Amino acid sequence: SYSFAMICFLVLMQNGEGITDKAPNYIIEKMYLLRSGIEAFDALDIHNKRIVISWCEKWKIEVPEKVLKNFKGENNAFKGLQEMGFNL
């Protein structure tokens, strides 16, 4: 959905000092993410993916089933590596 893609885009823009820290060309370059929530989500690291899921829960935005399935697997693998002592 467009709402899901928008959340992914906003999470990407909040990194660092936020959107005001981003060059206009960078923002324009990343606007393609608004066309596909799944591509937008896949472009994020695990920490930002967790933020997206959290914001979707907060605002009751539907997360595509394919995204949820992939995220659960990736998130479990990430937690497993942390439990093994990897500093991630």
pLDDT truncated to tens, each residue of the chain (88 aa)? 789 999 998 898 888 788 888 899 988 888 877 887 788 888 888 889 989 989 999 999 998 888 888 887 776 766 655 566 645 4
pLDDT at residue 16 in the model: 79
Q: What's the pTM value of the predicted model, to 2 decimals?
A: 0.76
Alpha-carbon gap, residue 12 to 41, rounded angstroms: 9
Q: Which amino acid is at 52?
A: V
Alpha-carbon gap, residue 68 to 17, rounded angstroms: 28
Q: How far apart are the first and last CA of the chain?
A: 30
Say if CB 12 and CB 30 are below 8 A apart. Answer: yes
pLDDT at residue 88 in the model: 45
Alpha-carbon gap, residue 85 to 72, rounded angstroms: 20
pLDDT at residue 81 in the model: 54
